[in-house]
Chain A
Amino acid sequence: GEDVEQSLFLSVREGDSSVINCTYTDSSSTYLYWYKQEPGAGLQLLTYIFSNMDMKQDQRLTVLLNKKDKHLSLRIADTQTGDSAIYFCAECPSTTSGTYKYIFGTGTRLKVLA
């Protein structure tokens, strides 16, 4: 199917690490993405990983990719209250007509407790 799955909620204490998980559907996606959405705002691109990589680190963010299990995760180190938001993973597989279409996960609401 087309569903990209994420857990709905995650609550962590300030200073701890957060790990947000995603299971995607299509191994033809060249890139896999993580977006952040704060209340009342659009989606902000956080980071992305090329499909032939296992890991990518970008400051406090670490993305892990397990292609065999179609599993993507985003780790946020030293989580801050400003990290409270909804996080979306996204894949962009090719379609039967040869075009590409982004598919977004359901979003994980991260709540950081002070």
Chain B
Amino acid sequence: KAGVTQTPRYLIKTRGQQVTLSCSPISGHRSVSWYQQTPGQGLQFLFEYFSETQRNKGNFPGRFSGRQFSNSRSEMNVSTLELGDSALYLCASSLAAGADTQYFGPGTRLTVL
């Protein structure tokens, strides 16, 4: 069974632009969570989607948004990019929402210049 895939793997943007990242969960998994990883802040939870509904949200500004499609694939969008948004964005999928075991993708490395 294929693992979690994320596209693109690397991205370079400039301040003020917007970006969309994509995540395809493991087949059969219906929950997708997003995390931001930076050297200074570690792994921080962005949001969780299950059955196309956002179930949980971390403490990030409204510039960060996401959605989930009927096939469980998820996208996250960051608008008006700032230098501090440079990070590794990780997606994790699980069978169900909540406390179910999460499996991570390889991440998308975003660099904001």
A contacts, CB < 8 Å to B:
29-31, 33, 35, 40-45, 48, 88, 92, 94-95, 99-107
Which residues on B are within 8 Å of A, measured CB to CB?
Answer: 4, 6, 33, 35, 42-43, 45, 48, 55-56, 58, 90, 92, 97-99, 101-107, 109
A30, A41, A99, A106: which contacts B106 (Cβ < 8 A)? A41
Shortest A29–chain B CB gap in Å is 8
Q: Decide if B56 touches A92 in the complex (CB within 8 Å).
A: no
- Whether the pair A42, B90 counts as a contact (CB closer than 8 A) is yes
Report Cα–Cα, A46/B101, bound state, in Å.
11
CA A94 to CA B97, docked complex, whole Å: 12
Contact B56 A99 (CB under 8 A): yes
Report whether A30 and B42 are in contact in the complex, using a CB–CB cutoff of 8 Å: no
Q: When the two chains form their complex, are residues A48 and B101 in contact, meaning their CB atoms are under 8 A apart?
A: yes
For A31, give its contact among B6, B58, B101 (CB under 8 Å): B101
Flag if A42 contacts B107 (CB, 8 Å): yes
Q: Is the CB of B55 within 8 A of A45?
A: no
- Whether B103 and A45, one on each chain, are in contact in the complex, defined by CB atoms closer than 8 angstroms, is yes
Whether the Cβ atoms of A43 and B99 lie closer than 8 Å is no
Docked Cα-Cα span, A45 to B109, in Å, equals 20
**B104 near A43: Cβ-Cβ < 8 Å:** yes
